[in-house]
Amino acid sequence: MKRTFFFEVCVLLLLILTGSIYTQCSTHVKKQSEYLTKPFKHPGMAQSAEDLEYMREMVQKDEEPWKTAYKNLKEQTSLDFVVNPMAYISVGAYGANSIGGREYSQGGSNAYNHALMWYITKDQRYADKAIEILDAWALTLRGFDGNNAKLNVALTGNSYMNAAEIIRHTGAGWNEKGIEQFKRAILTVFYPTVEDFFTEANGNWDGGIINTMMCMGVFLDNHDMFNRAVERYFRGLRNSGIIKYVYPGGQSQETTRDWDHVQLGIGEFAKAAQVANTQGLDFYSIGDDRLAQGFEQCAKYMLDKQGIDMYGVMQHRSNERFKDIYESIYSYYKNSRGIDLVYTGETARTSTRLRSSVGVLTTIKVPKGNFKELRKLVIPDFLKASQTGALLKGPAKAAPEDALIIQQGGESIQEVIDANKGTGKWIVLAAGVHELEKPLVMYSGITLAGEGRATILHLARGVNTETVVNGENSMENVTIRDMIIEGAINTVENADPNADRRNRMYMNAPSREGIVFRSGRGGTMKNITFENITVQNFTKNGIFIADGENVVINRCDISDNGGSVVPGEKFHHNLFLSYSQNTKITYSRFDASPWGYGVFVKRCDGVEILGCEAARNKLAGIRCADSRNLSVCDNLIEGNENNGLVVDALMDGCTNVRAKNNLAQGNTGYGFFFEKVTSLTKQDNISKHNNVNFK
């Protein structure tokens, strides 16, 4: 259950002794200790001793922004505060039916405020008030309950922890009895509530839990507890962990929800990164500065309220309030890395700094460098939503003048297809939702097109089957392009898309599948093309192709497919390709399969996977088994809950495999796993922040 450094060393030694780890010049392995192994620094949460003294010095010099932040803190901190501890805290969703929630929250913020006032002023009265609050709650609190039990510990517990850390290690006069009682509260109340995180929730929950758990580990000098949270930050499950929560380019897991929760989530991950930094660990650089990417995208949107380049449906909900989260990461990049987070800095200066107190005082740490010029953050330009899947701007390719146009609710799509078999005609589904009461049957010589994201092909409610199927065993020359093929029951998500996703994950969800082109022994389907389509939210496969030849999948987004409906988990995937020849999969996205692979290639000959993203899938990002003549190059394979890239055997293994210039990071298992492969060429692959980088 608990990951220790000793365990990591034992695993590494075992792999070395058994020959499972080896070095080749063609594979770059960037593996360094991600866990804390040195003794803890104290104080050692949001601020070190040096940071606290720097804060105090800046306040005494009347330097801004510390001067204003201290003025705000002093106004918010009253020695007349009356502590009101309660034994049990129960708070419902969004704060409903609160019992003790307000008192608990006020206790945490006041304990932290008084601890900071003590350090800045050295007025013993502030220390005594902080100790009074900490002692009262540690002695009284017995448990958390209600919908927000874990969230209460996550979002407020860190205030209690930081206050206790400052008071304990700065000569404030906290006696051993009080310290021991606070330890008892951590071990018997706080930690048991969040020990197993909350995998099912949106990622902001685990972001907060990670931060608070790290703080608990610091206070207790408990490396196992601290490193349990570190592991979660690097390789969390489902929506948890930085690579799961912030996608390449900066989109958050909650961007399609609302901006209040986006800010909450990245703010909690930033707090965890700050604690790690205090203890000498680097959380910021993970995923090419993924956290900073998230801040920059969020800050830019919050400043101009304009649409962003993102996957899913753009939301403008809850975009009026700026949370006080921007100072910490802006300060770190400016003062430690010489990088200017342009939008984050502007947001801090114009929208949060004047009203901030703790958000400024505790987050601007001692500068680590003196940079004459600041660089801009480099944000990777990889598989943008404006180029991948069904496009917001419309079709990627214009239809010919003689195309047949079908309006929403107009003539039967099936009848038009049947009447034009083998003609080479384009059949264009106009903007709108086109409901199907049974699978759409495709025949040779047809291009079925849409008008980008505005066209949605959707199985009607209660129709639990395939969406598009082949009508001939030897079907050929078929193209599907420029549309969304939607597997969810509703084409409009609710205010919390994660809730919809949870409903699709489990066995009792409706059994719905995307595109199924399967010939069997009766023939081979040839020249099948999918281009700029989005296939999403199916409980079975997104796309399943068997017995294909010359299949092209280009600029597609095949994501969130593959639940645990019968016959069960690990059976359905985003893309399942089998018994096929000469397949090209290029510049496409295969993400977030709840129970399957991003791409599963089985018993195929001649498959190229180029420039794709396979991320956040339950199993491996890409798996190729019992296949030959494979080329897997220039792909991003990250955040998968099994392995990154797997080339292995069901029985026979794979032959003639080329893996070049792939990046595998943040995968729970291996970054690269090669087993029973004949003629394997590896070159310039990078593996980092995986549990084991390669085999």
Domain segments of the chain: what residues?
A: 404-596
Instruction: Please state whether beta strands 663-665 and 636-638 pair in parallel, antiparallel, or not at all (unpaired).
Output: parallel
Beta bridge partners of 525: 548
The predicted structure's pLDDT at residue 374: 95
> Is 404-596 assigned to CATH 2.160.20.10?
yes
- The Cα 57–Cα 15 span in angstroms is 50
> In 3-state terms, what secondary structure has residue 459?
strand
The predicted structure's pLDDT at residue 495: 78
The predicted structure's pLDDT at residue 556: 98
Length of the chain: 695
Plot region of 678 (φ>0 → left; ψ -120 to 50 → alpha; else → beta): beta
CB 352 within 8 A of CB 358: no
The predicted structure's pLDDT at residue 493: 75
Residue 246 per-residue DSSP state: B
Helix axes 49-60, 101-121, angle to 10 degrees: 70
DSSP code per residue over 41-89: PSSBSS-BHHHHHHHHHHHHTT-TTHHHHHHHHHHH--TT------SEE
- For 508, counting Cβ atoms within 10 Å of its Cβ (0-12 exposed, 13-18 middle, 19+ buried), the class is exposed
Q: State the amino acid at position 372 in one-letter form.
A: K
Longest CA pairwise span in the chain (Å):
88
Residue 483 per-residue DSSP state: E
> Residues 503, 517, 529, CA angle at the centre, nearest 5°?
105
The predicted structure's pLDDT at residue 28: 41
- The Cα 417–Cα 443 span in angstroms is 7
Quote the pTM value.
0.93
DSSP code per residue over 118-143: HHHH--HHHHHHHHHHHHHHHHH--E
Instruction: Please state whether beta strands 476-486 and 446-449 pair in parallel, antiparallel, or not at all (unpaired).
Output: parallel
pLDDT 10s digits, 199-255: 999 999 999 999 999 999 999 999 999 999 999 999 999 999 999 999 999 999 999
Q: Sign of torsion, CA 162 168 170 171?
A: positive
Backbone angles phi, psi at 430, to 5 degrees: -65, 170
Residue 93 per-residue DSSP state: G
In angstroms, what CA-CA distances link 108 with 90, 136, 269, 398? 16, 11, 19, 59
In angstroms, what CA-CA distances link 432 with 412, 449, 458, 492? 14, 13, 10, 12
- The Cα 671–Cα 243 span in angstroms is 14
C-alpha neighbours within 13 Å on the C-beta side of residue 67: 5
CB 486 within 8 A of CB 537: yes
Plot region of 409 (φ>0 → left; ψ -120 to 50 → alpha; else → beta): left
> Residues 484, 665, 333, CA angle at the centre, nearest 5°?
100
In angstroms, what CA-CA distances link 66 with 161, 256, 352? 23, 35, 13
Backbone angles phi, psi at 316, to 5 degrees: -120, 15
CB 71 within 8 A of CB 59: no
The residue whose two tokens read 């207790």 is 220
Residue 173 per-residue DSSP state: -
- For 681, counting Cβ atoms within 10 Å of its Cβ (0-12 exposed, 13-18 middle, 19+ buried), the class is exposed
The predicted structure's pLDDT at residue 18: 33
Helix (H) or strand (E) holding 630: strand 628-633
Helix axes 203-220, 223-235, angle to 10 degrees: 160
| Residue 345, token pair as written in the block | 């800095």
Give 3-state DSSP helix, strand, coil % of the chain, rounded to 5.
Answer: 35, 25, 40
- For 460, counting Cβ atoms within 10 Å of its Cβ (0-12 exposed, 13-18 middle, 19+ buried), the class is exposed
| Residue 426, token pair as written in the block | 């384009």
CB 297 within 8 A of CB 308: yes
> In 3-state terms, what secondary structure has residue 644?
coil
User: In the chain, which stretches have pLDDT less than 70?
Assistant: 1-32, 522
Give the list of residues 6+ apart from residue 588 with CB closer than 8 angstroms, or none.
383, 388, 553, 554, 555, 556, 557, 558, 612, 613
CB 363 within 8 A of CB 46: yes
